[in-house]
């Protein structure tokens, strides 16, 4: 088993103004594994995942203490380019957010922004990314159609393909199936299991069954604290903390 | 759509098959030991039982993880819950092979009371029922499972024959035969219990494949 650490949070505190959203959270994200964050609304799991690609710094009046590493790089170091971090650590959101452009342009856009002009390379990369995101067969004959014509599940897979095109290393999923039907959800889950062979994956989900199905490691957050973190099978069959047990069995509150 | 879950289910099936092989071997070896009053072989069956116990624990853990992590439905749910029950039956069958081996150790230093006639028949039946029960699970073969269930009566009859013969012709006529008769009586009972467990497995297979309960209702077998 490859237990290389890909990303690491060390003693992270996070504040929105004076409100503390995360308290001394330390957690390792392993290479080629799916790491899930579960917990009730407002527990800090989404705030936490957004630290991994510096999304929270776009929110005014926030304070971060502690360190976040991508491999050996401390990503909040002032010398580090946030745009480069967001290329290496891609994100897929709750609501699919394709650009109001064609399917092809949705994928090629990131490459062009990164200065790639070689047309043949871009075409190859678009096809390759769409194939990896298991949407190629559904769109290959209409690459010039607007991405907004796709179904929700297809749009979400397109957004995943968009991350893959720029050679991301880590993919953060923030409730990726919240707006999808069960079949589209199953497709995204199968895709996540396939993608972990090449990428490291972090997923935040309200749906603990989803965390159980797709993840290797699970962290349970409550009131800004990481209550328990461990192998998914241990968390869901024999959690150590009474609060984790109460939450996953629905006895919470 | 291909599912990653299917690979895990195939692994579970593989674990059951592997455990089934070990159990079948234990049964065959224990009755071989009986035929030849081979103490070494009997001792080996007793010692090797720990591997079968380990298989049972491993299968239980695999099933528990799949139930907790994959939230299986319908045929998947039936497959996993039946795998859990079948591993319990297999483990009990292996314990009965151990029991037979212990009887061999008791019998080994004395001459056999009588030539064995019905016990070898019961032995063959127990082996066949075990193999077919596991086979029906692996191949999801309802017809084979039905055959196993229908053999159970024959196993009961053979056990009764052995019992009556030992009671009427030996124990009641000559008390001194008791130390050599009782172990044989028990062996017949152990073998018949093995057949009962094979029958349980076959009943579980029918439930797994067709979602039909035939347990305790043999008349429902052909519906």
In angstroms, the separation between the Cα of residue B101 and the nearest Cα of chain A is: 37
Task: Give residue A251's pLDDT.
Answer: 81
Q: Would you call A186 and B1 a contact, using CB atoms and an 8 Å cutoff?
A: yes
Cβ-nearest to A237 among B1, B3, B68: B68
Q: Do B71 and A213 touch (CB under 8 A)?
A: yes
Residue of A nearest to B72 (CA): A213
Rounded to a whole number of angstroms, the distance from the CA of B105 to the nearest CA of chain A is 42
Q: What homologous superfamily is domain B2-220 in, according to CATH?
A: Phosphate transport system protein phou homolog 2; domain 2 (1.20.58.220)
pLDDT category of residue A2 using cuts at 50, 70 and 90: low
In chain A, % helix, strand, coil (3-state, to 5) comes to 40, 25, 35
Considering only CA atoms, which of B73, B83, B110 is closest in space to residue B11? B83
Q: What percent of chain A has pLDDT over 70?
A: 99
Query: Residue B123 contacts by C-beta under 8 Å, 6 or more apart in sequence?
Result: B31, B34, B191
Task: Give the separation between CA A97 and CA A99, rounded to whole angstroms.
Answer: 6
Report the candidate in A156, A186, A238 with the shortest Cα–Cα distance to residue B5: A186
> Does the beta-carbon distance from A236 to B69 stay under 8 Å?
yes
Give contacts of A233 with chain B, Cβ < 8 Å.
Answer: 65, 68-69
Percentage of residues in chain A having pLDDT higher than 90:
90
Pair of tokens at residue A51: 């630290």
| CB crowding A99-114: b at 16 or more within 10 Å, else e | beebbbbbbbbbbeee
Are the beta carbons of A190 and B2 separated by less than 8 Å?
Answer: yes
- In this prediction, residue B63 carries a pLDDT of 96
Q: Residue A233 and residue B70: Cβ atoms within 8 Å?
A: no
User: Which pLDDT does position B111 carry in this prediction?
Assistant: 85
What's residue B131's pLDDT?
Answer: 93
Chain B residue numbers with beta carbons less than 8 Å from the beta carbon of A213 are 69-71
ipTM metric: 0.74
Element (H, E) at B91: helix B74-107
CA distances from A172 to A89, A121, A159, B76 (A): 7, 26, 12, 30
Residue A233: which of B3, B69, B71 has the nearest Cβ? Answer: B69
Q: Name the average pLDDT for chain A.
A: 94
- Residue A3 in this model has a pLDDT that exceeds 90: no
Confidence of residue A247 (pLDDT cuts 50, 70, 90): very high
Indicate which of B3, B69, B72, B73 best probes the interface with A, i.e. most A CBs within 10 Å of its own CB.
Answer: B69
* Nearest CA distance, A176 vs chain B (angstrom): 18
What span, in angstroms and rounded, lies between the C-alpha atoms of A47 and A162? 23
For B127-180, write each residue's pLDDT tens digit. Answer: 999 999 999 999 999 999 999 999 999 999 999 999 999 999 999 999 999 999
Q: Tell me how far apart the alpha carbons of residues A37 and A42 are, in angstroms, rounded to a whole number.
A: 12
Residue A89 near residue A170 (C-beta atoms within 8 A)? yes
**What was the pLDDT predicted at B10?**
95
Of B1, B2, B65, the CB nearest to A233: B65
What does the alpha-carbon distance between residue B185 and residue B135 come to, in Å, rounded to a whole number? Answer: 29
pTM above 0.95, yes or no: no
In the structure, what pLDDT confidence band is assigned to residue A1 with cuts at 50, 70 and 90? very low
A40 vs A181, A225, B71, CA distance in Å? 22, 12, 21
How many CB atoms within 10 Å of residue B39?
A: 15
Residue with tokens 């009371």: B113
Residue B146 Cα, gap to closest chain A Cα (Å):
35
What pLDDT does A253 receive? 54
What does the pLDDT read at residue B129? 96
Q: Which of B1, B2, B68 sits opposite A236 (nearest CB)?
A: B68
User: pLDDT value at position A127?
Assistant: 96
First to last CA, chain B: 33
pLDDT computed for residue B215 by the predictor: 86
Q: Are A161 and A194 in contact (CB under 8 A)?
A: no
B65 CB neighbours in chain A (<8 A) are: 233, 237
Give me the pLDDT at residue B223, please.
65
Of A161, A152, A151, whose CA–CA distance to A107 is shortest?
A: A161
Inter-chain CB proximity B69 and A212 less than 8 Å: yes
Chain A residues in contact with B4 by the CB 8 A cut-off are 190, 193
Q: Within chain B, which residues score under 70 in pLDDT?
A: 223
Q: Which residues of A touch B69 (CB under 8 A)?
A: 212-213, 232-233, 236
Residue B196 · residue B152 · CB < 8 Å: yes
Section A26-42 average pLDDT: 96
Residue B221 confidence (pLDDT): 81
Using an 8 Å CB-CB cutoff, list chain A residues near B70. 212-213
Q: What is the DSSP letter of A175?
A: S
Q: Name the β-bridge partners of A28.
A: A8
C-alpha B47/C-alpha A11 separation (Å) is 52
Q: How far apart are CA A66 and CA B108, in angstroms?
A: 73
Residue in B closest to A183 by C-alpha: B1
B69/A190 CB distance under 8 A: no
The model's pLDDT over A206-231, given as tens digits with 9 standing for 90+, comes to 889 999 999 999 999 999 999 999 99
Q: Which residue of B has its CA nearest to A249?
A: B68
Q: Do B68 and A193 touch (CB under 8 A)?
A: no
């Amino acid at each position: 088993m490859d237990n290389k650490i890909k990303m690491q949070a060390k003693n992270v505190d996070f504040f929105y103004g004076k409100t503390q959203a995360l308290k001394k959270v330390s957690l390792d994200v392993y290479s080629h594994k799916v790491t899930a964050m579960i917990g009730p609304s407002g527990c800090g799991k989404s705030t936490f995942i957004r630290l991994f690609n510096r999304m929270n710094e776009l929110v005014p009046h926030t304070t971060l203490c502690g360190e976040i590493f991508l491999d050996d790089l401390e990503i909040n170091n002032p010398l580090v380019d946030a745009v480069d971090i967001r290329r290496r650590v891609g994100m897929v959101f709750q609501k699919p957010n394709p650009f109001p452009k064609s399917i092809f342009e949705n994928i090629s856009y990131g490459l062009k922004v990164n200065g790639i002009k070689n047309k043949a390379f871009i075409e190859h990369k678009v096809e390759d990314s769409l194939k990896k995101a298991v949407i190629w067969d559904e769109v290959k004959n209409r690459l010039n159609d607007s991405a907004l014509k796709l179904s929700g599940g297809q749009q979400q897979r397109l957004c995943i393909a968009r991350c893959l095109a720029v050679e991301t290393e880590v993919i953060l999923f923030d409730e990726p199936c919240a707006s999808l039907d069960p079949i589209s959800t199953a497709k995204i889950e199968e895709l996540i299991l396939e993608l972990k062979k090449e990428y490291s994956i972090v997923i935040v989900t309200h749906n603990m069954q989803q965390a159980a199905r797709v993840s290797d490691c699970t962290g349970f957050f409550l009131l800004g604290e990481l209550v328990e973190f461990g192998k998914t099978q241990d968390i869901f069959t024999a959690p150590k903390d009474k609060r984790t047990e109460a939450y996953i069995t629905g006895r919470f509150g | 759509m291909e599912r990653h879950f299917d690979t895990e289910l195939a692994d579970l099936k593989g674990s059951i098959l592997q455990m089934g092989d070990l159990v079948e071997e234990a049964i065959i070896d224990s009755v071989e030991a009986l035929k030849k009053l081979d103490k070494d072989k009997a001792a080996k069956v007793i010692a090797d039982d720990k591997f079968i116990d380990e298989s049972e624990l491993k299968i239980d853990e695999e099933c528990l993880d799949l139930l907790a992590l994959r939230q299986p439905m319908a045929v998947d749910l039936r497959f996993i819950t039946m795998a859990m029950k079948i591993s319990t039956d297999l483990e009990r069958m292996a314990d009965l092979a151990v029991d037979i081996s212990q009887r061999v150790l008791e019998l080994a230093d004395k001459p056999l009371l009588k030539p064995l006639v019905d016990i070898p028949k019961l032995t063959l039946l127990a082996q066949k029922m075990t193999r077919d029960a596991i086979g029906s699970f692996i191949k999801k073969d309802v017809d084979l499972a039905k055959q196993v269930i229908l053999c159970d009566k024959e196993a009961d009859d053979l056990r009764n024959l052995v019992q009556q013969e030992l009671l009427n012709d030996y124990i009641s006529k000559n008390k001194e035969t008791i130390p050599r008769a009782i172990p044989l009586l028990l062996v017949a009972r152990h073998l018949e219990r093995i057949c009962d467990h094979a029958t349980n497995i076959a009943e579980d297979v029918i439930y797994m494949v067709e979602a039909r309960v035939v347990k305790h209702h043999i008349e429902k077998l052909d519906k």
